[in-house]
Chain A
Amino acid sequence: MDAWWQCEIPYPFVDKKITDAADSVRASLPNRLCDPRIAATLFDEVLDEFALCDDLGMNVVCIEHHAGINSLIGANPMVTSILARQTRNVRVLSLGTLISLRPDPVRVAEEYATADILAKGRFDIGFVKSGGTEMASANMQPVNNEERFWEAIDLVRKTLTTHTGPFSWEGKHYSHRHVNIWPRPYQDPHPPMWAATGDPKSAAEVGRRGMRHVLVLRGPEGTKRAYEAHRRARAEAGLPKVTTDNFAYAALVYVGDTDEEGIEVGSKLLWFLNTSLKSAPQYNTFLPGAAPPVAAPGLYRTQAAPEAGSALKDAEKGVAPASRNAEKLISITASEAMKQGILFAGGPDSVYRQITEFYDKVGGFGHLVLVGRSGYMTHAESRKSIRLFTKEVLPRLKAIMPVEVG
């Protein structure tokens, strides 16, 4: 198993009275609440933490989120390109520029090809479907977001792999009549591609496409279900079996000297769930396309109607919007988060044990993504965990070799 470290560069320094009073901490919170000097310090610290990972042999991940306290990395390709050049040893994953929000995937392919050149082939491309608040902040239609997602991925892949001169693309969502990027990517045919998605339908599509499938904070049941959908779709399409190398899991991770310290400091990571997920109903419950119409009775009513049973049950079967998943996470405690495989925290031995237990529960995965710093965690605390993880835990994880699954 390999490991990848990431920090979203959250901005927690907004008065709690303000975030409590706001209906959303994403998309609509005014940016006057973001002190640019503090932001600059945060970028400095976190880029240094990425560099420390490079020194100690842990891969790095750069995510993207927009217009909120949860993350200051809205311009993923800029930070990705810095990492591509400042690291010298490890792999760099962009997870990813939010592809369905970008008007021209060809430009994204150009940015990614450049990052791969800068990193001399140490670059991985990730695709993420975006959240509800980002439909507002990027002015993008939410209902056909997933259609754009797959069409954009097709176009990025074709752009990265076509070397015979200009080609034309006139798809449903994207039109670019003269595609021919320079430079082409360093890796041939293209950098490894990841996709972060949990619902069974898109999990199946990730499987058919043979992309590396990453589940973020989904817990054992949801993760296992998605991995299974991935494998089943491959089997049904007559595609070869894959190994655990196709699967990744992202969790909040903190390693301290002792279990007590690891859990105490690791609990700071829960800020991501407790505080930074809050979003207003127009960005989740009432966002068109976020939940199918059949889920509406449970979403619109403030009091459950006695006869509302069938639709509510459907909502529980997995047609509930991401907002429902978020609601469950907002109030989570450290012990619950650890029980649910969302937080791996403690001393090195117990973190290793928690990871392998989770590994067994979901049928194995080859890549662990560590959400290593969040909320009010300090630079020193973050560095300590990176050192302890890479020294005490990572070598043991690396001994877990890929095995064929499915």
Chain B
Amino acid sequence: MTTVHGIDMEVVRRGAGQPIVLLHGLQQIEPDARFFGLLARRGEVIAPSHPGFGASARPKDFENVYDVVNLYAAFLDSLPFDKVTLVGFSFGGWLASELAVRSCHNIERLVLVDTVGIKVSDRETPDILDVFNTHPDTVKRAMWHDQANAPDFNAMSDEALIKRHRNWESLSLYAWHPYMHNPRLAYWLPRIGVPTQVIWGASDGIVRPSYGRTFAGLIPGAGFSVIENAGHHPEIEQPDAFADHVARFLNR
């Protein structure tokens, strides 16, 4: 556990070398995930859980996405590195983008994976599947390329399910309205001034690759790449391909 701005945060760390900070998406990062080990071969991977996710505390009234953004600004400042590679997955990509448009002073490179955070289509076309108001079976089909990769609730421990429901509650506080995006973020994305790679699961039905392409197009010089046979979580469904994409970007 690490304390930042008085908040007890669960932070998983592995590996050594150049620092890579991971901001997770809808669930906290499991340290036994294959992609996590693969990234740890490249550097020191640092994965905090957002307040109200995993084992991290969520203070009373801490229920706004900008509470989380400000906390991560403080978190990055607290690390003993001048600059880090910042990787944001899904909801965590939104957080990473918000941080980067404010200041890149401690960001070396930025990786956004199946990120949310902006509005792309017209007002009557939702860009991001409403995971709260859609039948869970539909959400599951949209989330995974191979349904066998979805978590099996019957096989999960009580503790893991309790965490999962608490994550869900916290996510809804941060992202219910406006749903999973900041209406003004797209306007500010051109301010991001560090090398950026946007990575997408080809079969993502939560937020489509075309959204990712638009997102990348708003960040000067950003690359865009698609991972086949992966949905909203390419890091879980294709961990080796994912780690390769990240490695190629970091070596560039």
Give the complex CA separation of A23 and B133 in angstroms: 13
Instruction: Check if B132 sits within 8 Å of A288, measured CB to CB.
Output: yes
The answer to whether the Cβ of A300 comes within 8 Å of any Cβ in the partner chain is yes
Partner of A311, one of B154, B162, B164: B162
Instruction: Check if B161 sits within 8 Å of A280, measured CB to CB.
Output: no
Instruction: Check if A144 sits within 8 Å of B173, measured CB to CB.
Output: yes
The answer to whether the Cβ of A400 comes within 8 Å of any Cβ in the partner chain is no
Contact string against A for B residues 35-63, beta-carbon threshold 8 Å, 1 for contact and 0 otherwise = 00000000000000000000000000101
Q: Which of B133, B153, B164, B165: most chain A Cβ within 10 A?
A: B165
Contact string against A for B residues 89-128, beta-carbon threshold 8 Å, 1 for contact and 0 otherwise = 0000000000000000000000000000000000000000
Number of A-B pairs, beta carbon distance below 8 Å: 76
- Contact size range, A: 20 to 34
Instruction: Check if A136 sits within 8 Å of B158, measured CB to CB.
Output: no
Give the complex CA separation of A23 and B153 in angstroms: 21
Residues of A contacting B156 with CB < 8 Å?
A: 300
Expressed in whole angstroms, the minimum distance between the Cβ of A312 and any Cβ of chain B is 9
The answer to whether the Cβ of A294 comes within 8 Å of any Cβ in the partner chain is yes
Residues of A contacting B165 with CB < 8 Å?
A: 291, 293, 295-296, 299-300
> Which B residue's beta carbon lies closest to that of A283?
B133
> Which A residue's beta carbon lies closest to that of B165?
A296
Instruction: Check if B173 sits within 8 Å of A307, measured CB to CB.
Output: no
Contact string against A for B residues 170-198, beta-carbon threshold 8 Å, 1 for contact and 0 otherwise = 01110011000000000000000000000
Residues of A contacting B169 with CB < 8 Å?
A: 143, 288-289, 293
Expressed in whole angstroms, the minimum distance between the Cβ of B183 and any Cβ of chain A is 15
Partner of A282, one of B132, B154, B161, B162: B132
The answer to whether the Cβ of A164 comes within 8 Å of any Cβ in the partner chain is no
The answer to whether the Cβ of B251 comes within 8 Å of any Cβ in the partner chain is no
Expressed in whole angstroms, the minimum distance between the Cβ of B134 and any Cβ of chain A is 6
Give the complex CA separation of A235 and B153 in angstroms: 44
Instruction: Check if A311 sits within 8 Å of B158, measured CB to CB.
Output: yes
> Which B residue's beta carbon lies closest to that of A141?
B176
Residues of A contacting B75 with CB < 8 Å?
A: none
Interface residues in A309-353 (C-beta closer than 8 Å to B): 310-311
Give the complex CA separation of A300 and B134 in angstroms: 16
The answer to whether the Cβ of A286 comes within 8 Å of any Cβ in the partner chain is yes
Expressed in whole angstroms, the minimum distance between the Cβ of B192 and any Cβ of chain A is 29
Instruction: Check if A282 sits within 8 Å of B135, measured CB to CB.
Output: yes
The answer to whether the Cβ of A41 comes within 8 Å of any Cβ in the partner chain is no
The answer to whether the Cβ of B249 comes within 8 Å of any Cβ in the partner chain is no
Shortest 8 CB-CB contacts between residues of A and residues of B: A296-B165, A288-B172, A293-B166, A300-B153, A296-B161, A293-B165, A141-B176, A288-B169
